[in-house]
Amino acid sequence: MTGGAGFIGSNFVHHLVAHTDYVVTVLDKLTYAASREALDGLPENRVQLVVGDIAEADVVDPLVASHDAVVHYAAESHNDNSLDDPSPFIRTNLVGTFTILEAVRKHDKRLHHVSTDEVYGDLELDDPKRFTEDTPYNPSSPYSASKAGSDHLVRAWVRSFGVRATVSNCSNNYGPWQHIEKFIPRQITNVIDGVRPKLYGSGENVRDWIHAEDHSSAVLTILEKGRIGETYLIGADGEKNNLEVVRLILKLMGQPEDAFDHVTDRAGHDLRYAIESGKLRSELGWRPRFQDFEAGLADTIAWYQQHEDWWRPHKDAVEAAYAQKGQ
């Protein structure tokens, strides 16, 4: 698999070790977003880490040749970074996915491509519709456009070359090991530091939150039972606006619920994401298990309180970069 030292990829590695007999090789470049520690303590006979770049064919090709399947998580993943400098997003998300596709084509291996609901653009707040597998692509940011392009590459390799691939598009994940540049961990670590949480714009933007553990169980289900060439949307009916999430973090951390600030909005900020995951549920029998958002958030807060050694070295630089943009 690729990207197994990242937030969601590392969750998937632990999920595989706990729930299957698979032996896993993680190919990860260990960018700023990676956490080698997230893979600590795993049995050496089950998980091996190879440090390398998915956009380099001489790294990817022999690894693909020697494995049965590839689950592709590696990506540049943060919208705000893609607004500051899109170039690594083009290289990793597009050239990297192309490199993997060429290797799975050459060696006739099964591929599962992990993607995002952001490829569909955004919905109005009062739109009764949610995203489905048939929603047209309409990405807003360099990040989401690069992920949309990677999805199109996968589908083209399925249709033109008969590559045995599936695609999943998941909503916003939360849980342990998420980089503190992202919304929920940024606000938790701000409150730990006595700093007021920072909401972009009005804070009315809606995200459809799912626990990373539910994303992992969905990807494993699709890898094992998904129909080749199909796309499955992954979501757990977790729509909340950013104001609600910040107020809940403040409440759970014993602070007044209005102790936050509004800051400069994100350019092109998507208003609302919402997933209809009926196909995955009815066709493959998947169900989310961590749908109590308040309980999951409380556990996540406790995790960041207990893992200050991990995030503390990055906090000043992350906040300095945001401060420069008035965020």
What are the catalytic residues? 117-118, 143
Q: How many CB atoms lie within 10 A of CB 326?
A: 9
Amino acid at position 271, single letter = L
Binding-site partner at residue 242 among ligand TDX, ligand NAD, none, CB < 5 to 8 Å by type: ligand TDX
Q: How far is the CB of 186 from ligand TDX (least distance, A)?
A: 5
State yes or no: residue 147 binds ligand NAD (CB under 6 A): yes
Choose, by CB under 6 A, the member of 135, 205, 216, 217 that binds ligand TDX.
205
- For residue 66, give the nearest of 102, 98, 24, 95 by alpha carbon: 24
List the interface residues with ligand TDX, window 91-130 (CB under 6 A): 116, 118
Q: How many amino acids of this chain bind ligand TDX (CB under 6 A)?
A: 16
Give CA–CA dist 180/199, Å, rounded. Answer: 15
157 binding ligand NAD? (CB under 6 A): no
Site for ligand NAD in 168-197 (CB under 6 A): 170, 172-173, 179
Identify the burial level of 280 via C-beta atoms within 10 angstroms of its C-beta, where 0-12 means exposed, 13-18 middle and 19 or more buried. Answer: buried
C-beta of 8 vs 70, nearer to ligand NAD: 8
Q: How far is the CB of 303 from ligand TDX (least distance, A)?
A: 16
186 binds ligand TDX (CB under 6 A): yes
Where would I find the H helices in 180-288? 183-192, 212-225, 242-252, 278-284
Q: From CA 141, how far away is CA 125, in angstroms rounded?
A: 19
Minimum Å gap between C-beta 165 and ligand TDX is 19
Among positions 263-302, residues that touch ligand NAD (CB under 6 A) are none
Within residues 19-58, the interface with ligand NAD by CB under 6 A covers 28-31, 33-34, 53-55
Which three-class secondary structure state does DSSP give residue 319?
helix
How many other C-beta atoms are found inside a 10 Å radius of the C-beta of residue 41? 9
Angle between helices 57-65 and 97-107 (to 10 degrees): 40
Chain contacts with ligand NAD (rule: CB under 6 A): 2-3, 5-9, 28-31, 33-34, 53-55, 73-77, 92, 96, 114, 116, 147, 170, 172-173, 179
